[in-house]
Structure 1
Amino acid sequence: MSVTASIWFFAVPFAIAAAIPGPAQAAMLGQVVARGARSTLPFIGGMVMGNALWLLVATLGLAALALRFEYLFIAVKWLGVAFILFIAWKLWSNNTAQPQEPPQRSASRGLLAGALLTLSNPKAVVFFGAVLPHAFDLTTLSWSEVIFITALGVGIDLSIQLAYLLAGARLKRAIQSPRAMRRLNRTSAGVMTGCAGWMAISR
């Protein structure tokens, strides 16, 4: 079976998995609330790049090797938990009665933050390692096919995360009063704290 003939066995499960809200989406929506949609684009880029790296690792058949270095993932995971809690604290303590322009952040820091969150979840490589063998014969893939699969994954992931971004931007525009904005900030902070707790206890 050719790559193009079996691509749906990969694309559909991946799209569904990418669309399910998780800690990365909660953190991204928190960024939209705190900094605005445009400033969140590098963060999304980092998220997508992290998933692309996991996809490439699984496609090249290195999933088992990557999972052997679990101690590295544990360290990255706790960095991700700390980052999410930091964002949650910033949202909770934000003074909506006297709105201020959010501090500027470089695109490289946004990319790094987004990639850190995605790479802190080794379950992504487990997912790809489970789905890809059902869609493709990984022992016969050419480099052009590997690049095609990775590019497809990037396109699917980016489209879904941009949809989340647009939804978050519309929600922020719809809420104008300081009281409503404070409720949104604190609700987002609570969701992100819960996601950080889930990341902390999950394996």
Structure 2
Amino acid sequence: MTLQLLLAYSLITWLTAATPGPAVLLALRNGATRGFRAGLYSTLGNQIGLLLLAGASILGLGVILHTSAWLFTLVKWVGAAYLVFLGWRMLRSRDGLDLGSATQGDAPPASDAQMLRLGLWVSLTNPKAILFFGALFPQFVQPEQPLLPQFATLVSLSVCASVSCLLTYVWLASRARRWLQRPRAALWINRVAGSVFIGFGLVLAGLRRAPA
């Protein structure tokens, strides 16, 4: 894989991990209500879920890459549309971060095992993660090169980005809960992230498939 491709994937992965979603809301709630330990175990469960989603993507990725050019192009446009959609939704969002909605109002679990299972469930049902590994992941794999090293590199980057972002949210939430709930702060974050995602979507739409 080229350095340019790795840098582009790393940036998109970090932005995806840092933007508000079910996993981020869970991290914020855990940090604000249960402390760092609870957030650590739910983050671990979230990473197990990401590995399962990545594995599912890997099992079907070879077929997409080696079937036909039009199918690869279709996947590319789905990925671009996903980025633009995320950006558009963020730009339109004017809501603050609801720390109480991460688990549909359920009380935070008390045990480490419960927190781990909760993080796993949130990850496996997270539309952002599902669409990321199903639509964007294939765009950064070069079919003319060995697939396994590329998968290992990309998945490792995804896990590193997710762990660092979620644990940062856990740590910050206990110290900045009131600020996170302010609509003005959420609006600023959504505007910046939304603009960046739309830009990356347009760039992705213009990429050409490398010849096999």
Q: Same fold (TM over 0.5)?
A: yes
1:34 to 2:33 alignment: yes
Structure 1, unpaired ranges of 5+: 66-81, 92-102, 176-183, 188-203
Query: How high is the sequence identity, in percent, across the aligned residues?
Result: 25
Structure 2, unpaired ranges of 5+: 65-100, 183-212
Report the CA distance shift for 1:140/1:63 in structure 2 as closer, same or farther (over 3 A): closer
1:161 to 2:180 alignment: no
Task: Give runs of ≥4 in structure 1 deviating > 4 Å.
Answer: 62-65
Residue 168 (structure 1) shift: 0.7
Partner of 1:111: 116
Q: Give yes or no for contact 2:41–2:115 (8 Å, CA) kept in 1.
A: yes
1:84 to 2:89 alignment: no
Q: Give yes or no for contact 1:24–1:118 (8 Å, CA) kept in 2.
A: yes
Q: Give yes or no for contact 1:45–1:111 (8 Å, CA) kept in 2.
A: yes
Matched to 2:32, the amino acid is: V
Q: Give yes or no for contact 2:141–2:147 (8 Å, CA) kept in 1.
A: no
Find the aligned partners of 1:109 and 1:138 in 2 and give their Cα distance.
40
Report 1:123-142 matches (<5 A): 123-138=128-143, 140-142=145-147
Q: Aligned Cα RMSD in Å?
A: 3.2
Partner of 2:8: 9
Deviations 1:53-87 (A, max 9, x none): 2233223435999xxxxxxxxxxxxxxxx981243
Q: What is the aligned length?
A: 144
Normalising by the residue count of structure 1, what TM-score does the alignment of the two structures yield? 0.58
Report 1:164-175 matches (<5 A): 164-171=169-176
Report the CA distance shift for 1:141/1:58 in structure 2 as closer, same or farther (over 3 A): farther
Normalising by the residue count of structure 2, what TM-score does the alignment of the two structures yield? 0.56
Report the CA distance shift for 1:85/1:19 in structure 2 as closer, same or farther (over 3 A): same
Residue 43 (structure 1) shift: 0.5
